A and B are shown apart, each in its own frame.
Chain A
Amino acid sequence: MIRIRAWQHVVNERLKLGHFKIPVHLAFGYEALAVALTGTLHSPDHVILPHRNIAYQLAFAKNPQPIFDELMLRPSGGGGGVLGSMNLAVKGSPVLYTTSILGNGLPVATGVALHQKFRGTGGVTFAVVGDGAIEEGACYESLVFAKSQGLPLVVILENNDQSMSSSIHQRRCAIDWRAFTASFGVNYLAARGHLPTECDSALAEARRTCVGHGSPVVLEVSLHAYNQHAGASPGWAGDQKAISLADGPFLKPYNRDPLFHSGLTDHAENQRLFWECLADCDEETLAIVEPLLPAASAFSLHAGA
Chain B
Amino acid sequence: MRVSRSSGQEQPGLRARGAFALLALPLTLGACAGGILDPIGPVGNDNAQILIDATLIMLVIVVPTILLAFFIAWRYRASNTKAEYLPYWSYSGRIEAVVWAIPILTIMFIGGVIVIGSYRLDPFRPLPSAVPPLEVEVVSLDWKWLFIYPEQRIATVNQLVIPAGRPVHFRLTSGSVLNTFFVPQLGSMIYTMPGMVSQLHLQADRPALTWGQSAHFSGDGFSDMQFQVRSVAPAEFAAWTQGARGTGAVLDLPTYAQLARQSHRNPPVTFRDVDPRLFQAIAMQRIPPAPGPEPASPEHAGREVTPAGRSH
**B is bound to A:** no
